[in-house]
Amino acid sequence: DVKVTQSSRYLVKRTGEKVFLECVQDMDHENMFWYRQDPGLGLRLIYFSYDVKMKEKGDIPEGYSVSREKKERFSLILESASTNQTSMYLCASNLGTGIHQPQHFGDGTRLSIL
């Protein structure tokens, strides 16, 4: 079974802090993704990576950055946290080859910015 592990289920931070969300997958997947989930909006893509050190912006990258130094690990960084970044964050991964492989998701991190 594919396992995508997010480092924290719940996180509380203060405005202006630098926040790191970590994600690790154990299936040697090429692609990794960060989404945020908000009520009534579904999931929206923040950033994705198709290889080590490669990253691309998704639909809502403002206020975020990412890092992928190793294939199995994809980090989401909030450079200076703001209250409008309070949300549920979901990491996902899938194979880079083949056709539109299903994405496998972690349990999510519920982040509150005070």
Give residues in contact with another protein (CB under 8 A): 9, 30-31, 33, 40-45, 48, 50-51, 54, 56, 58, 88, 90, 92, 96-97, 99-100, 102-108, 110
Other CB atoms within 10 Å distance of the CB of residue 94: 20
Nearer of residues 46 and 78 to another protein, judged by Cβ: 46
Residue matched to tokens 């990576």: 49
Nearer of residues 48 and 64 to another protein, judged by Cβ: 48
CA-nearest of 54, 83, 81 to 70 is 54
Query: Quick check: 63 and 79 in contact, CB under 8 A?
Result: yes
Query: Nearest distance from residue 91's CB to another protein, in Å?
Result: 10
